[in-house]
Amino acid sequence: MSSPFLTAVKEYMWTRRYAKRTIETYLYWIKYFIHFNNKQHPKNCHDQDVEKFLSYLSNSMNVAPKTQAVALNALHFLYKDFLKLPLSLELRFNKSRVQPKLPEVLTKSEIKLFFDTITPDYKLPCQLMYGSGLRLMEVVRLRIHDINFNFNCIQVWNGKGGKHRRVTLAKELRKPLKEQIRFASVFYQRDMRNPAYNGVYMPFALARKYPSAKKELGWHYIFPSNRLNEDPQAHQLRRHHIHESALRKTVKQTAHLANIKKQVTCHTLRHSFATHLLQRGADIRTVQEQLGHTDVRTTQIYTHVIEQGANGVRSPLSDL
């Protein structure tokens, strides 16, 4: 990283065990803020400059409320934790009020067509996103011991917001998952014979609490990368999980090949999971727990999807 200041922020976050994605996101918004203020050092800016920046994101860039909130969180961290110059609790800026779009949902026939078309290498991760409602990063970060075959469930650790939850596991995925675990075990056995291999990445303080766990099979990723990489934080040789960008590209390409005329992303599979559960009569609280939503109002967006379709208001045309 060319900027000494941003490098210092990055190192500060690394030492405090921030997630890699959080570091990248915060650095993006901090850099954006610095450029917005004609490259002034952030310590020479404060409340009014932050207010102008956040209002600019709303007025000129028309960002979504969640995007503006992430930018505010990044600057709050910068001033409170890094510069030790906390922002005012009463910042006055124009808040984004862009109406959220209804989620794109695939029909059951489109889901079947999608899975009939997708390449076998990425079929199982996508089946987990649709079959268990997992987010993209929750899928790629799954570890072998997260699968409970006895109770047909998956343990999700440190999902969005740092929350843990258990989700359903379709019985149809038991056999493919066991085969995938055997595949991951081949990598594991090969790596254990490599004297330079230092085990899998362990989250937070678990590496100190369980020093031998990093070389246990259960802690290794279900979907391992094809090659070993150096841990950017510890500078040690490890095997990471598959890269999420490859999965994103595959989902888009599959939708195109299947001639599905919708904007299909990895999250579309999760949206479809929630909507199809509700269509089958599942209780909204159950769906909320499966998705890991803190507020049931977030889950209720899927009821709007159903209501605006064939299950909603009867058209007067039907009475003619």
3-state secondary structure (DSSP) of residue 142: coil
Structure-token pair, residue 151: 């109770």
For residue 315, the number of C-alpha atoms closer than 13 Å in the C-beta half-sphere is: 7
pLDDT at 311: 52
For residue 26, the number of C-alpha atoms closer than 13 Å in the C-beta half-sphere is: 24
Residue of 119, 271, 276, 142 lying closest to 200 (CA atoms): 142
Q: What residues does CATH 1.10.150.130 cover in the chain?
A: 4-82
pLDDT at 210: 86
* Percent of the chain whose pLDDT exceeds 70: 94
The dihedral over CA atoms of 17, 21, 25, 28, expressed in degrees to the nearest 10, equals 90
Residues 6 or more apart from 244 whose CB is under 8 A from it?
Answer: 136, 137, 140
pLDDT at 19: 80
CATH architecture entry for 108-304: Orthogonal Bundle (1.10)
pLDDT, greater one: 231 or 107:
107
Q: Could you read off the pLDDT of 283-293 as tens digits, one per residue?
A: 999 999 999 99
pTM over cut 0.85: no
pLDDT at 273: 95
Burial 179-218 (b: 16+ CB within 10 A, else e): ebbeebeebbeebeeeeebbbbbbeeeeeeeeeeebeeee
CATH architecture entry for 4-82: Orthogonal Bundle (1.10)
Q: Could you read off the pLDDT of 161-216 as tens digits, one per residue?
A: 788 999 999 999 999 999 999 999 999 999 999 999 999 998 767 878 888 999 99
Average pLDDT over residues 224-251: 91
Give the active site residues: 135, 160, 267, 270, 293, 302
